[in-house]
Amino acid sequence: MKITVVTPTFNSAGKIAENVKSVLKQNYDDYEHIFIDNLSTDHTLDKITELYSDSGKLGKIQIVSERDNGISDAFNKGIQLAQGEIIVILNSDDEFIPDTLFTDISELFLLNPDAGFIHGDILFEDFKYGTSIRKPLLCPPEEAMPFNHPTMFVQKKVYDKTGLFDIKNRFCMDYDLIVRWHKEYPEIYNSGFYANKYPMVKMSAGGISWSNELDMLEEMYSVVNKYGLNSDFAHKKLMQRKRRVKLKLFLERLGLNGLVKVWRKYKWGN
């Protein structure tokens, strides 16, 4: 069972080595790594090529370097090029954690062939507000994102059936996809298998959604409206999340990040 890793890059030289090394260390050899690069001007592509060449696995990578139309477009290009039965998107500043991950995922799909996707926990590395292990919320999608997208290993036939990411979204392309599955393909949405053995991916704070939280929440609510899931419940949850973000930013201005750390520790239970 071949696994395709899709990694969008743009001037990612500072973090891309850890991303690549986390793939190279896997004890599972049936994979490919596709990089969709938005015309980087640093040494991103040189580092990728050097690491794969030194490992003797240069034939496992494919690099497309051309102007794209945002992150969703990069995701879509990678998925369309994928030769694997299973596709996972690993952003350039993220990395896989255990070296047995690909082996475990392939075995889980063999045991659960009807699973449209397998997902799990992330290690969210945040030096400002506190690093934590984050389990998927598994909540109604109109409340929040139910799954940790960086951990989602998706069967390619799912994308073939449901279509790809909506390039109009700047922040919530993964959320839009999941809500669409919930609304239009419930058999796929409900087929996910939660593998809770260990955190699968280390994700670094500072991404575009993390840096634009209020804009992200507005886009999430537009997705809720788009698929007809707007309700008093959905609006209430949006307002609650907005208040939390504004409070966090206020406490940060006062130099009280420690209070946010305490809340995060309570929220995630670690």
What is the per-residue pLDDT across 118-173, written as a single tens digit (0 to 9) for each? 999 999 998 888 889 999 999 999 999 999 999 999 999 999 999 999 999 988 99
234 shares a domain with 143: yes
State the average pLDDT over residues 242-254: 87
79 shares a domain with 205: no
Instruction: Specify the pLDDT at position 44.
Output: 97
262 shares a domain with 128: yes
Instruction: Specify the pLDDT at position 258.
Output: 82
130 shares a domain with 95: no
Residues 149, 252: Cα–Cα separation, whole Å: 27
137 shares a domain with 88: no
State the average pLDDT over residues 71-95: 97
Residue 153 lies in a domain: no
Residue 223 lies in a domain: yes
What is the CATH number for 32?
Answer: 3.90.550.10
Res. 68: pLDDT tops 70 = yes
Instruction: Specify the pLDDT at position 237.
Output: 87
138 shares a domain with 104: no
Residue 139 lies in a domain: yes
Interval 21-58: pLDDT, tens = 999 999 999 999 999 999 999 999 999 999 999 999 99
88 shares a domain with 210: no
- 60 Cβ neighbours under 8 A, 6+ residues apart: 31, 32, 33, 52
Instruction: Specify the pLDDT at position 210.
Output: 65
Residue 166 lies in a domain: no
75 shares a domain with 126: no
What is the share, in percent, of the chain residues with pLDDT greater than 70?
Answer: 98
127 shares a domain with 86: no
Residue 214 lies in a domain: yes
The residue length of the chain stands at 270
Last residue of a domain, which of 83, 111, 139? Answer: 111
How confident is residue 257, by pLDDT bands cut at 50, 70 and 90? confident
State the average pLDDT over residues 73-89: 98
Residue 154 lies in a domain: no
In this structure, of 93-107, 175-189, 199-213, 229-243, the range with the lowest mean pLDDT score is 199-213
Instruction: Specify the pLDDT at position 248.
Output: 85
Instruction: Specify the pLDDT at position 254.
Output: 86
**Mean pLDDT over each residue of the chain, to the nearest integer:** 93
Interval 212-240: pLDDT, tens = 888 989 999 999 999 999 889 888 988 89
State the average pLDDT over residues 5-32: 97
How confident is residue 209, by pLDDT bands cut at 50, 70 and 90? low
20 shares a domain with 69: yes
20 shares a domain with 132: no
Residue 162 lies in a domain: no
Nearest to 222 by CA among 140, 139, 142: 142
Domain hosting 242: range is 117-147+174-270
The tally of domains found in the chain comes to 2
Residue 219 lies in a domain: yes
Instruction: Specify the pLDDT at position 40.
Output: 96
39 shares a domain with 81: yes
Last residue of a domain, which of 94, 111, 128? Answer: 111
